[in-house]
Amino acid sequence: MVHSRIVLCMLSAVFLSSVTAIGQAGYALREDDRTMRYTSRPAEQARAWQRDVRAKLAALLRIDDLLQNKSNIPLSPKKLSSVDKGSYTVEELEINSTGNRRIRIIVTLPAAQGKPMPAVVCIGGHGSDLYSPYDEEIVSKDATKAQADRIYRGFGTALANKGYVTISTTVSQHEIYEKDRLLMGERLWDLTRCVDYLGSLACVDRSRIGCAGLSLGGEMAMWLGGMDERIAATVSAGFLTTMEHMEQNHCMCWKFDGLRELVDFADIYSLTAPGPLQCQNGMKEPVSQFYVPLAREAMEEVRTIYRDMGKPENVLLDVHEEGHVIDLPALLGFFAQHLEIAKKEIVFLPGRQSHGWSGHAYTADCKLLAQILNENVPTVEAVVIEGGWPKDVKILDGAAAIVIACDGNGLLGPESNWQALDRLARKGVGIAFLHYALDPGKEYGKYLLDWIGGYYEQFWSINPSWLAEFKSLPRHPITRGVQSFKVEDEWYYHMRFREDMKGVTPILTAVPPDDTRKGPDGPHSGNAAVRARMGMGEHVAWAFERPDGGRGFGCTGGHTHWVYAKNDFRMLLLNAMCWIAKVEVPTNGVLTKTPTVEQMEANLEGDRPQDWPPERTRQTIEEMNRQ
């Protein structure tokens, strides 16, 4: 569509012949003639100041009407091209900016799309186009332009390679496209629409959208980060300065009526608070440009509101040794810290395999679960530590959850190790005990009561094998996606739980056959209390919320490795591992496909029985999931 354009006359930049000190008149930040200059105040009043300034600036920018009517302007995207780059796809599209104007955008989309990912609006400076923030393979066939765009260090491509969704459009124009608009208003509005488009994508986490740019792009990152509260983190490179300085030495496209009377750049940056803000200025910038001492002075003003809001650590000035370029390592590190979700470590501690080729196969059990978690839960790093209790317990310091599967007290051993695990539990680390690990002896059962809410108490609990039918499941994150199921295994029951089941939520409950209760008295066979409960339900898996906020989980099944082939049982365990680590369990549970023969037989120890060829494993997997 062809639009009428009103050409804005560009004022040529006036360069000072000599500037020897920041303290010369007109260079310092103005303190008296800004009606909305930020000064220290309580956090709630600081937020009110931000709301007031945003409203005044939106009116000055002549975009307040667009903000009010944005819901009536559909994006109406039209794909123009798509290029597969392997780990991501580059798409060029058109979207509506206003009801009368469309803009072109570049979007990079990760090839692997699981959970919603972070996104960054990538902004070029003067002379740039929508391709400029990307590397030379994407940028331009024009060698001269590709050379000029190297100042961006291909930061858009670097982010795309790390799995971010990125978006870019052109804001370097010096023309006003629509009547009664302003140049800076149209630039900002086009970037706002880029954020709208990101928000429309299912693969984007709307709470993790950032923006970054250099030079004019750094200026526009300041505007977008300050005016659009959806921006979660901002990198403004090669721009932090004062308006007085920009009056003296730069293109005047930044200025519009009423701006200087209201604020300085430090005030606009202050609108980003308390959200993370990184400004970048290079030591090789000349005095006439984005001079570091002046940037430091401006940054001190910006820090004020961050202190008032209790987040002084969220704002920083990155002073690098180069000139007017993107400091790529600093940018990537900043977004990694503030937009990427740190992975939570789930540590599996398996004991030695003890019951033939496929029984009490703790290492194989744990490695299967860890592999599935690592493949399907982006926010988890599952680690299996073999060889018993770690010689250096510090290796567990970063764990969000610890899963123990072993014979009795065969893994932890002496009291000192139990005390070490107790210290971790008291710090909030999630704890799970599986199968025989629930029977460490009464001496250590007290720890399990505190950590996971229950344990196997000899002469009170029993350990028969039986077909457990779980006809109904409670509403709990651990049961998400899990259907009622039945499976035969060695299901311990009549566990010793905390008094009145306080903090304990039963997850798997079934009625054992009466003949499993009729064994003679013994540590594992039977007792009068068990026999008195004929026909009653027994809890064989449970969740526990500790008074201090930590979480625990216990499951008595898992005698045979083949039970892990049961899809619903395996999903329930995977969900439980996430839950105790305080990782959000997906609505439909952790994705887990029926395992292959190779997956099920991997890591089993000892010699394969002659009567158990791979075909029998395949049949077992099928039978498990027919029940």
Domain with residue 278: its CATH number is: 3.40.50.1820
1, part of any domain: no
| pLDDT for the residue 150 | 85
Average pLDDT score, the chain: 91
d(CA 211, CA 190): 13
For residue 472, pLDDT beyond 60:
yes
Give the model confidence (pLDDT) of 355-390 as tens digits. Answer: 889 999 999 999 999 999 998 887 899 999 999 999
Nearest to 243 by CA among 13, 19, 30: 30
Q: How many domains does the chain have?
A: 2
| pLDDT for the residue 157 | 93
The pair of structure tokens assigned to 399 is: 């764990």
Give the model confidence (pLDDT) of 15-43 as tens digits. Answer: 333 333 344 334 444 455 899 999 999 99
The pair of structure tokens assigned to 129 is: 């186009």
The continuous run of DSSP H or E covering 167 comes out as: strand 165-168
Alpha helices in 489-611 (DSSP H): 528-531, 567-580, 597-601
Question: Do 486 and 608 lie in a common domain?
Answer: yes
27, part of any domain: no
Interval 162-182 mean pLDDT = 95
Strand, helix or coil at 318?
Answer: strand
312, part of any domain: yes
Percent of the chain with pLDDT over 90: 81
Give the model confidence (pLDDT) of 85-109 as tens digits. Answer: 888 999 999 999 999 999 999 999 9
Confidence at 12, pLDDT banded by 50, 70, 90: very low
**Secondary structure (DSSP) of 186-203:** HHHHHHHHHHHHHHT-TT
461, part of any domain: yes
**Secondary structure (DSSP) of 497-515:** E-GGGTTEEEEEEE---GG
pTM for this prediction: 0.58
Question: Do 272 and 368 lie in a common domain?
Answer: no
Interval 297-307 mean pLDDT = 96
Question: 141 versus 453: which is more confidently predicted?
Answer: 453
Give the model confidence (pLDDT) of 113-138 as tens digits. Answer: 777 899 999 999 999 998 999 976 55
Least-confidence region, from 19-23, 283-287, 473-477: 19-23
Q: In Å, what is the CA distance from 258 to each residue of 56, 58, 188, 261?
A: 10, 12, 17, 5
Beta-carbon contacts of residue 443 (< 8 Å; ≥ 6 apart): none
Give the model confidence (pLDDT) of 232-281 as tens digits. Answer: 999 999 999 999 999 987 889 999 999 999 999 999 999 999 999 999 99
3-state secondary structure 62-91: CCHHHHHHHHHCCCCCEEEEEEECCCEEEE
Question: Do 372 and 297 lie in a common domain?
Answer: no
Question: Do 273 and 391 lie in a common domain?
Answer: no
Question: Do 252 and 363 lie in a common domain?
Answer: no
Cα 259 vs. chain centroid, distance in angstroms? 37
Percent of the chain with pLDDT over 70: 92
Give the model confidence (pLDDT) of 511-560 as tens digits. Answer: 999 999 999 999 999 999 999 999 999 999 999 999 989 999 999 999 99
Question: Do 283 and 405 lie in a common domain?
Answer: no
Are 10 and 255 contacting, i.e. CB atoms less than 8 angstroms apart?
no
**Secondary structure (DSSP) of 383-444:** EE--SSS-SSGGGGTTEEEEEEESSTTTTT-SHHHHHHHHHHHHTT-EEEEEGGGG-S-HHH
CATH number of residue 494's parent domain:
3.40.50.880
Give the model confidence (pLDDT) of 414-446 as tens digits. Answer: 999 999 999 999 999 999 999 999 999 999 999
117, part of any domain: yes
Are 553 and 455 contacting, i.e. CB atoms less than 8 angstroms apart?
no
The last residue of one of the domains, among 317, 338, 359, is 338
| pLDDT for the residue 621 | 95
23, part of any domain: no
As to burial, measured by CB atoms within 10 angstroms (0-12 exposed, 13-18 middle, 19+ buried), residue 417 is middle
Question: Do 322 and 361 lie in a common domain?
Answer: no
The pair of structure tokens assigned to 206 is: 């709307």
For residue 139, pLDDT beyond 70:
no
Phi first, then psi, for residue 92 (nearest 5°) are -110, 130
The last residue of one of the domains, among 321, 338, 355, is 338
| pLDDT for the residue 8 | 32
| pLDDT for the residue 135 | 76
Question: Do 412 and 273 lie in a common domain?
Answer: no
Question: Do 280 and 403 lie in a common domain?
Answer: no
589, part of any domain: yes
Question: Do 200 and 250 lie in a common domain?
Answer: yes
Least-confidence region, from 236-245, 372-381, 566-575, 612-621: 372-381
Question: Which residue has 């200026």 as its token pair?
Answer: 219
The last residue of one of the domains, among 338, 360, 391, is 338
Question: Do 457 and 498 lie in a common domain?
Answer: yes
Give the model confidence (pLDDT) of 190-221 as tens digits. Answer: 999 999 999 999 999 999 999 999 999 999 99
d(CA 563, CA 350): 17
Its domain, for residue 443, covers 344-624
As to burial, measured by CB atoms within 10 angstroms (0-12 exposed, 13-18 middle, 19+ buried), residue 184 is buried
Question: Do 75 and 98 lie in a common domain?
Answer: yes
464, part of any domain: yes
